[in-house]
Structure 1
């Protein structure tokens, strides 16, 4: 059966995109150099660390940092438990802190990050399972989180015992009452002074119920002792003083569980039994006892993009008839089309036999976020704003040296998106087009960092179109709060970007 790790767990906070040599990592984690080499191999295998070759794009690096070739960089946000060390990798937009003494702001930010990851992944268990190797090496953490999350939703596994009682509090069984009791007849109507009732009680002594309680308690104890409970905002679960080992060896316990599974037809209870069987059999877990338990993602930029879509009310997939504006020609008959469908597609043609033949449709431009705003409400033509936004998980540096900014391809695409919506903007009388990049910050206010132009390549535009792509730093805490709550940013912050 799985064993709970030692309670002597040390937590170390490391900034995403920071780079390390074996020596510096050993010093940061408080381990020996041999252990550091082993940790590096394990973390690289699970996508937490990546070897720098010197060919990576500079736009992703933290402010002012340049990773020497041959070092290892944390390309991950989340946590990784390696033996007695819990490595918490916090997002790169947060300021660097003492690895062993994190401040309250960073701890609070990480708690929010895990809530965001849970929402984007559907559950903590699914995030834990999403390692580069699938469920295998990370099976234990995913399994424990699955059990705790199912308990949070459904409670403890229980079987119910139905009994017949005399004059009980349950529903009256008239069939049994009539068969067992003589009535008193009054005015031709039978009256029963005693009646039989059906009582339904949870069978607290049921084997699976008691085992489930013990397993949940053991999983919760692991979360508490490892520090994961605080990070993941998991409540303590204390349901049993029994050890899982008290129920017998793995084969006997699995046999009892499989017998129960054969007569159980409630889906969630079947799922719980399946999880318990895996837990007691330790399937695929013993051989990987030294593998890190990971909960996080190496694609946090996707999380930022998704959060910005929600926070800014992206309408790319909204039908034109639902935008809240009166459609004008040539879009008047396109109410069922989506805003993404308005963008033209490249037209390829094949040549042969002296003639040109049109080919089928190909992929086209797809902006990150499009939102329409106006004084008359969420969307309004005539005086409204048409905003084309691109969420970038970058840490920009603008000054004598430019770094951590979107590349030429990203800048060019923003102007192409504007051109793609030209007819729609003009037809509906929008008075302003906003073209902007959105990056995260640890501040509490929207900050207008700068803008980029591309003269000589991108032709100058007349109002309402823009000749610049603006760069805004958004308070990540506010954006993620909006995302977790399934709502848009507050009106004041939205107005600073899209008017």
Structure 2
């Protein structure tokens, strides 16, 4: 592995001394590191790690335990810290390829590397310079290098004929009443090989790429090296003169992505406090990795919640033949509120929010069997045994049963052979495994076939589900048949 990160697991706890030992730094630097990461929402002080009756004005920072509440990377004084997801068992660390996959998932779920940040809204923002560098490199990946083309007129060129300049500048030969031109003015483009902004763009991109490589995070983030310039920033003149030329170019540039590039170059050359150099401290990650798991399950299990009923491949019957343009989300009933006026007469109120499942899908077994599937993606690490820990709470169980009731008429009218009601939880490696099930006897009465009277929990290899998400593919058909009970 070309980079040498220090690995920690999400949800694991460390004291300041533990952080010092883990990173190989002094206790003083470790305390500074803990303060920096806590401000960004990466570490959280566990109140239950402090002695009973502890005075909050004391040295809680020094004696308390800090929990890793985030997945991502952080750099502190030359040390690279990488937090990996909590579904890895204790003592098991991800491989290089698995780490790279995690960051590809973060990148896709966030809409770009530069958009990934600590999710705590009260946390301090990351050094803006780091995000700016990532935006520059991502823009280059998508659009290429900035280039400037000058529109020119040529004599008898290969481009489009410019009739107005031709008529104004050249004498025609008259063939009867029709003019004929032996020479023509044509439109063309001439690329300025010494274009200032292009050269500067190449220089900055090369420098950004070299910095990420020196910090040991380029390959981890899946960024290819960019070596397209041998110039230094000093070759372009002082910042004021360079900024003036950029602003001049910006005033005549009307292509959006090129405008964005110029704006980013201006910020890169004139960093404010929010764009301070990130050599010593930077972070990239999220405290809401559960969102990535939810998005991955939607992709892998073929979420149809927003699809029209007449696009599901199901024979619509009864009233549903007239409701084909509605979606699976739209047919969920809504709570109905009413108010009483001064005379005690009931009046209906406006619409309110209703139940929204994570994933609703329709799967067939190829032999006529059809399953209506209600999935809830849970980023949990449950334990089922004499002690039940880390499982979805009563609210989650209740909602799953209610989802089934909400679709009851549609399922019965359209002839589904079974309903699958499933919690999907991640695991590291291994095979797809049915962990257990939960029922709520005495509270919810059984609905009878094809419905289920409980919610099953399935463990899925996270790497496989995330690969489906990255590729935009459904999970293996055998897995679908097992989870839905069709095979």
TM-score normalised by structure 2 residue count: 0.86
Deviation at 1:351, TM superposition (A): 4.1
1:118–1:124 contact (8 Å) kept in structure 2: yes
Alpha-carbon separation, structure 2, partners of 1:167 and 1:234: 45
Give the secondary structure class of the aligned counterpart of 2:429.
coil
The 5-angstrom pairing of residues 333-412 of structure 1 reads 333-351=322-340, 353-375=343-365, 383-412=369-398
Residue in 1 aligned with 2:53? none
- Structure 1 residues 181 and 81, CA, compared in 2 at 3 Å: closer, same or farther? farther
Residue in 2 aligned with 1:227? 216
Give the secondary structure class of the aligned counterpart of 2:298.
helix
Alpha-carbon separation, structure 1, partners of 2:120 and 2:338: 43
Deviation at 1:198, TM superposition (A): 6.3
Residue in 2 aligned with 1:17? 11
Residue in 1 aligned with 2:229? 240
Residue in 2 aligned with 1:62? none
Alpha-carbon separation, structure 1, partners of 2:123 and 2:35: 18
Residue in 2 aligned with 1:485? 471
Residue in 1 aligned with 2:257? 268
148-157 vs 278-287, which deviates more? 278-287
Alpha-carbon separation, structure 1, partners of 2:158 and 2:319: 70
Alpha-carbon separation, structure 2, partners of 1:456 and 1:215: 67
212-221 vs 121-130, which deviates more? 121-130
Give the secondary structure class of the aligned counterpart of 1:253.
helix
1:42–1:291 contact (8 Å) kept in structure 2: no
Give the secondary structure class of the aligned counterpart of 1:150.
helix
Alpha-carbon separation, structure 2, partners of 1:180 and 1:364: 73
Deviation at 1:15, TM superposition (A): 0.9
- Structure 1 residues 191 and 337, CA, compared in 2 at 3 Å: closer, same or farther? closer
Give the secondary structure class of the aligned counterpart of 1:341.
coil
Residue in 2 aligned with 1:253? 242
- Structure 1 residues 401 and 173, CA, compared in 2 at 3 Å: closer, same or farther? same
Matched, 1:465 2:455: no
The 5-angstrom pairing of residues 311-350 of structure 1 reads 311-350=300-339
Aligned residues: 466
The 5-angstrom pairing of residues 90-489 of structure 1 reads 90-96=84-90, 105-128=94-117, 132=121, 137-161=126-150, 200-285=189-274, 289=278, 292-351=281-340, 353-375=343-365, 383-489=369-475
Residue in 2 aligned with 1:48? 42
Alpha-carbon separation, structure 1, partners of 2:273 and 2:255: 27
Residue in 2 aligned with 1:65? none
Give the secondary structure class of the aligned counterpart of 2:374.
strand
Give the secondary structure class of the aligned counterpart of 1:340.
coil
1:158–1:204 contact (8 Å) kept in structure 2: no
Alpha-carbon separation, structure 1, partners of 2:133 and 2:208: 6
Deviation by residue 1:88-107 (Cα, 9 ceiling, x = unmatched): 11111124458xxx6xx522
Deviation by residue 1:60-107 (Cα, 9 ceiling, x = unmatched): xxxxxxxxx942111111112223122111111124458xxx6xx522
Alpha-carbon separation, structure 1, partners of 2:138 and 2:317: 50
Give the secondary structure class of the aligned counterpart of 2:452.
coil
Residue in 1 aligned with 2:60? none
- Structure 1 residues 427 and 343, CA, compared in 2 at 3 Å: closer, same or farther? same
Q: Which has the higher contact order (CA 8 A, sep 6+)?
A: 1
Deviation at 1:148, TM superposition (A): 1.0
- Structure 1 residues 455 and 159, CA, compared in 2 at 3 Å: closer, same or farther? same
Alpha-carbon separation, structure 1, partners of 2:47 and 2:238: 50
TM-score normalised by structure 1 residue count: 0.84
- How big is the alpha-carbon RMSD for the aligned residues of Structure 1 and Structure 2? 3.2
Deviation at 1:260, TM superposition (A): 1.5
Alpha-carbon separation, structure 2, partners of 1:111 and 1:266: 33
Give the secondary structure class of the aligned counterpart of 2:330.
helix
Alpha-carbon separation, structure 2, partners of 1:131 and 1:158: 39
2:45–2:65 contact (8 Å) kept in structure 1: yes
- Structure 1 residues 431 and 195, CA, compared in 2 at 3 Å: closer, same or farther? closer
Give the secondary structure class of the aligned counterpart of 1:362.
coil
1:167–1:197 contact (8 Å) kept in structure 2: yes
- Structure 1 residues 333 and 177, CA, compared in 2 at 3 Å: closer, same or farther? closer
- Structure 1 residues 482 and 374, CA, compared in 2 at 3 Å: closer, same or farther? same
- Structure 1 residues 272 and 389, CA, compared in 2 at 3 Å: closer, same or farther? same
2:365–2:481 contact (8 Å) kept in structure 1: no
Deviation at 1:346, TM superposition (A): 2.3
2:129–2:278 contact (8 Å) kept in structure 1: no
Give the secondary structure class of the aligned counterpart of 1:17.
coil
Give the secondary structure class of the aligned counterpart of 2:67.
strand
Deviation by residue 1:85-132 (Cα, 9 ceiling, x = unmatched): 22111111124458xxx6xx5221121122122222221122259774
